[in-house]
Structure 1
Amino acid sequence: MTAAHPQAPPLPEPQFADVNGIRLAYYEAGPRQGVPIVFCHGFPELAFSWRYQIAALAAAGRWVIAPDQRGYGLTPGPEAVEAYDIDCLTGDLVGLLDHLGVEKAILVGHDWGGIIVWQAPLLHPDRIAGVVGLNTPFTPRLPLDPIVMYRNAFGDDMYIVHFQKPGVADAQLGADPEKTIRFFMRLPKGTQEDFLSRPAEKRSLALQDALAHYDPATDQNQFLTPDELAVFVEAFQRTGFTGGINWYRNFTRNWERAEALPRRIDAIPCLMIMAELDVVLPPSMADRMGEQIEDLEKVLIEGSGHWTQQEKPDEVNAALLDWLDRKFPQ
């Protein structure tokens, strides 16, 4: 099964900015006017994940920018694990705005990119004009180190806990990048309620075990076209997965850093786009966001799994443009 929507135009040619100690690759489209929109991808993704949004928003006259973030695609990252903490990741975005001569931007983030864009206004409040979370909700600081909580709740085999082991997940995911990308980027098979109703042994979050037994040849749940798949595969064949995994290895460091940060987002417009069938980041996770965010709207994308901007690009584009036209009219 593949996507029914037409393939998006190719990305613009990459540009590069020396910022925050790295050479950041980014893709830019649309007229350089108004407040720019910066798209932040997740794991294991690329700026290419936003191909449909870049094309649609630029066609609507919006200035759009999508970086290959630290450790991904054409943006190589340092070796040190701590070079992928939240200060570095948000600092890359601020450095990109400085490079472009931009005072403030609207940040749109999916998956791990969502964590970045929700933390950015807490760390750099004077640089953020608005925030859109795609699948990933804003959550206040947890009472315990997240890795401790995940280990207590799900055991050592839970994939985020597993990712903390140096080199282990890196080697497994990098051994066959095509298998890895096809394993992750699949259409949903049901709701979170369906997932939670399974027997305990079939509710495992040990993705490394599922990947080991995954057979791409029998998988009919794909949404990427062969050409789209090839873009991701080529990138991760070249870079490996360590850069992206290192983001996960900073959960504890980021949690410690967050103790000094505000617990609320006030005075900036925010949009939460939820995906009905995302088992990892279900809509229910956004239920209490209104308690922490002053100006919040929510949109539910029906029938979408985790890869919402690629699975349901038309619906995501419509939600973005509607909110932008009302909150940031041109």
Structure 2
Amino acid sequence: MNKSIQENSFPEPAIVAVNGVELEVFEAGKQNAGNPIVLCHGWPDLAYTWRYQVPALVAAGYHVIAPNQRGFGNSARPTEVIEYDIEHLTGDLAALLDYFGYDDATFIGHDWGAFVVWSFALLHPHRVNRVIALSLPYLARGEMPWLDFMEAVLGSEYYFVHFNKQPGVADAVFDADPARFINNLYRKNEPLLPPKPGMAMIEIARSESPLGEPLLSESELAVYASAFEKSGFTGGINWYRNLNRNWHLLAEADPIIHKPALMIYGERDAVARSENLSDFVPNVEEISLDSGHWVQQERHAETNEAILGWLARHGVSAD
């Protein structure tokens, strides 16, 4: 598909009130009402990340709902860190289904959005019929809170830990030049190198010679830069600052996801592949694409083919 047509076809947003906040929501395929699919972006990202998937899903007969989740774009940015925990994030999605009049839907998530979608299937199992995750596999809860575990294994400079131990430091670096940070982070054909000492995200934000090639065109980068210049990065970083709280909030949930699931990995993604995903997601199919982290953008045609093929094989029966 011609890129200019692709960019211009992204739907216009609407501001909707759900779960005590307002979310900026991009909706397409209203003519396909009754067949909903909800797209959940990660960090630092936007609903715009799905620009290649939305037209394909609409053409396949889906009513597409793609929110900028709380903290991003023109959606609400609460000031309290606790308002970005997994109960609030999944609560937003449940309320979004209510707003559109749906009992359940298929959910697709990338990166942090995948974590939210996996968690949604744990906390609201009757409101999801299928799960598709990109980049981030199901994160088993384990015996130690996630941030404590990461600090013990990866150190205090690991960016998840740094966001918590030094609140505001990374935010200020990213906010100083959003276009540079996004352009340095959204890369393709990057060499896989061993980690360097220091806080990796800050180093990326400040780099004058980022590795690989830019993933975004100038016009695409402008969409991201404009959004983050307005919103800043703190709202999204607050998601990380709830990771231990989320570990506690998920304590009573059945850790097994029984819904059909598709896991799409990028073979050159720094995010680790799960070695035991089917132990927790028994009805999962796993595939890998020759891609870095931003698989739905870098390998959009292959991603669409994988998603649409899997959806066709795992149809949802009407209630």
TM-score past 0.5 threshold: yes
After superposition, give the CA deviation of every residue in 1:208-257 in whole Å (9 maximum; x if it has no partner): 442354016x7661010000000000000001001000000000100111
- One of 281, 285, 309 as aligned partner of 1:322: 309
Q: TM-score, normalised by structure 1?
A: 0.90
CA distance in 1, matches of 2:149, 2:238: 19
Amino acid in the other structure paired with 2:278 = G
Whether contact under 8 Å (2:184, 2:205) holds in the other structure is no
Whether contact under 8 Å (1:188, 1:306) holds in the other structure is no
CA distance in 1, matches of 2:32, 2:23: 19
Aligned CA distance change for structure 1 residues 45 and 213 (closer, same or farther; 3 Å): closer
- One of 235, 243, 256 as aligned partner of 1:243: 235
Q: 1:211-250 to 2 correspondence within 5 Å?
A: 211=204, 213-215=206-208, 221-250=213-242
Gaps of 5+ in 1: none
Match for residue 181 of structure 1? 182
Deviation, 1:42, is 0.4
3-state DSSP class of the match of 1:133?
strand
Match for residue 292 of structure 1? 280
After superposition, give the CA deviation of every residue in 1:146-183 in whole Å (9 maximum; x if it has no partner): 11112112221111111112211111110111111112
3-state DSSP class of the match of 2:131?
strand
Please tell me whether residue 260 in structure 1 is matched to residue 252 in structure 2.
yes
Aligned CA distance change for structure 1 residues 305 and 208 (closer, same or farther; 3 Å): closer
Match for residue 199 of structure 2? 206
Aligned CA distance change for structure 1 residues 311 and 5 (closer, same or farther; 3 Å): farther
3-state DSSP class of the match of 1:24?
strand
Deviation, 1:126, is 1.1
- One of 263, 276, 293 as aligned partner of 2:267: 276
CA distance in 2, matches of 1:237, 1:209: 17
CA RMSD, Structure 1 to Structure 2 (Å): 1.8
CA distance in 2, matches of 1:265, 1:89: 18
CA distance in 2, matches of 1:119, 1:220: 33
Deviation, 1:270, is 0.7
3-state DSSP class of the match of 1:181?
helix
Whether contact under 8 Å (1:188, 1:278) holds in the other structure is no
Please tell me whether residue 6 in structure 1 is matched to residue 3 in structure 2.
yes
Deviation, 1:5, is 7.4
Q: Which moved more, 1:10-19 or 1:204-213?
A: 204-213
CA distance in 2, matches of 1:126, 1:269: 13
Identity of paired residues, percent? 41
Match for residue 16 of structure 1? 15
3-state DSSP class of the match of 1:294?
coil
Amino acid in the other structure paired with 2:314 = K
